[in-house]
Amino acid sequence: MVAAVVGGGWLLVASAVFDTPERHVARYLSATSRGDAYAAMDEWTVYLSASDPRFHAPDELVQRRRDLTIELSTDRVGREFQVTAIDWWATCCDPRLTTKDNAGLARVHVTTSGEDGKTRRLVFEVWVKDLVWWGSAGGEWHHDWRLYEVHDEEQPCFFGGSAVGCVRSTG
The structure's pTM equals: 0.85
- Whether residue 118 lies inside any domain: the answer is yes
Q: Which residues are within 8 A (CB) of 167 and not within 5 positions of it... i.e. 6 or more apart?
A: 156, 157, 158
User: pLDDT by residue for the chain (171 residues), tens digit each?
Assistant: 444 455 555 444 445 568 999 999 999 999 999 999 999 999 998 887 766 655 678 888 899 999 999 999 999 999 999 999 999 998 888 888 999 988 999 999 999 999 999 999 999 999 988 778 787 778 778 889 999 999 999 998 888 777 787 765 554
Q: Is residue 105 part of a domain?
A: yes
The CATH number given to whatever domain includes residue 119 is: 3.10.450
Q: Which residues contact 155 (CB under 8 A, 6 or more apart)?
A: none
Quote the number of domains for the chain: 1
Distances (CA, A) of 36 to 62, 66, 105, 111, 152: 18, 12, 26, 20, 19
Does the residue 22 lie in any domain?
A: yes
Residue 2 counted as domain residue? no
Domain extent at residue 110: 18-164
